[in-house]
Amino acid sequence: MVLSHLDNLSNEEWLAAFVSQWHLLADLSFSDLLLWLPNESGEVFECTAQIRPVTGPTALEDDVIGETIMHEPDHAVTVAFMTGQITETSDNELYAGIPVDVWAVPIMRGGVCVAVLERHTNVMGLRALGAMEENYMEAAGVLTSMLLEGQFPLVSTMDKALAPKVGDGVIRVQPDGLISYASPNAITAYRRLGAMGDIEGEDFGDLTRGLRHGVETMGQTMLSDVRQQRAAVFDVEQQRASMRFVLLPLVVGSISVGMLVLCRDTTDLRRRDRMLVTKDATIREIHHRIKNNLQTVAALLRMQSRRMKSEEGRDALRDAMRRVSSIAVVHDTLSHTVEEDVEFDAVCDRILRMVGDLAASSGVVRAKRVGSFGVVPSATATSLAMMITELCQNAIEHGLQSSSGSLEVRPSLSSESLVVDVVDDGAGLPEGFDIGRQDSLGLAIIATLVEDLGGSVELQQRDDGEGTRARLVLPRSD
């Protein structure tokens, strides 16, 4: 009954899969659970995991993770590990004045004990036995025996955000497919899906399949999974309600004793997911429309520049068009992702193509990026795009003097900052150049944006004397 792909896991992965599901055993048995792992020699056991029950009071007030047990012949954990049998301590042992029953259960795999599960039950907190308590304890007993036979855990992975817990809803299904018990929460969830009356005594497969009226999605093999007692996960989604099911076969030896079904009303979660999807789509559409509007503005500036008779006026409009286009590139990138961060390498590459086309009035500009920007927050991306645009434009117009040459943008990342060098092989800076005394609009824009981001910018002659290097330093935010 165990899903076959669990057999391929290492012991460490297999135990991790067990710990991801042992909340079932804790809640069904109303017990605290401790996982003890032996060292290589088997002489020391260390507690590597601990869980408390949601269904009852804890038996262990303190965290035990990290504590060790020496190989003591009479200790329950040692006995369970050596014999491969469940070991129980004396009844009602006192822990901080609370009577607690303790069991040590060997966790077997392939006939070998790989760890020991210690179960602590607060006897004082146990409720009077009713239908729910009896069914829970019976299911816990079956899971414990399956643990002894290496048949638990049952599934290796599950979406933790939607995974049902015992408190969400429990259904016991007998080998003939009939429901022998359903917890109050499970009954409520079924009624929300449209089931009428008491579901106990109903055929689980037929009852669940009968909810298909108005169902948007359901696992196609659900009935087969139920009939063949296979572990499975499936969803029932309607317009008014949705529910997730986890089918867990219960086996004693090689004999099926039915299934434990966990169910969770996921209506609110699904509705929230749909709202988030709608919100993400809306944000992407807004970025797309902003990009379109900016491209329209750039096109209008281009048209206006062609009608200008003044060369100075045409240059000013082309510069404005270039700046607007660089902002449009960022919004275009954001329109294709749901993330709030931007993979900036693609943005930089598009800016380099655009700047080279617009700025070089003659000759060929070979512009390229060397290195990676990584991920840039969307709040920073627009300013960074404009600064790189201005630095590249400045390098082409003044360094290369609008002629042929090469231009490189060299980003580098550290834990504290993003450093961007814009390097050209042009004529270099004029003698006595001082960035603070320049009246260039482009440099003024850069200075303003850098100040807003808490960074710095400098222009200097390259070390080899062949051109100019502009260095932009921006702090990285967590």
Is the pLDDT score of 118 beyond 90? Answer: yes
Is the pLDDT score of 400 beyond 80? Answer: no
Residue 119 binned pLDDT confidence (cut-offs 50, 70, 90): very high
Which of 13-22, 213-222, 240-249, 280-289 has the weakest average pLDDT? Answer: 213-222
Distance CA 235, CA 266 (A): 9
Cβ partners under 8 Å of residue 14, min gap 6 = 6, 109, 114, 153
Looking at per-residue pLDDT, the higher value among 411 and 94 belongs to 411
Is the pLDDT score of 474 beyond 60? Answer: yes
User: Average pLDDT in the 195-209 region?
Assistant: 85
Residue 4 binned pLDDT confidence (cut-offs 50, 70, 90): very low
Residue 364 binned pLDDT confidence (cut-offs 50, 70, 90): confident
Is the pLDDT score of 226 beyond 80? Answer: no
Quote the mean pLDDT of the chain: 81
Residue 1 binned pLDDT confidence (cut-offs 50, 70, 90): very low
Query: What is the tens place of the pLDDT at every residue in 231-270?
Result: 788 878 777 778 888 888 898 878 888 999 998 888 777 6
b/e code 157-186 from CB counts within 10 Å (16+ = b): ebeeebbbebebbbbbbeeebbbebbbebb
Cβ partners under 8 Å of residue 132, min gap 6 = 181, 183
**What pLDDT sits at residue 116?**
93
Q: Is 292 helix (H, G, I), strand (E, B) or coil?
A: helix
Peptide bond into 153 cis (omega under 30): yes
Token representation of residue 266? 């996921």
**What pLDDT sits at residue 170?**
94
For residue 64, which of 120, 13, 103 has the smallest C-alpha distance? 120
User: Average pLDDT in the 65-94 region?
Assistant: 82
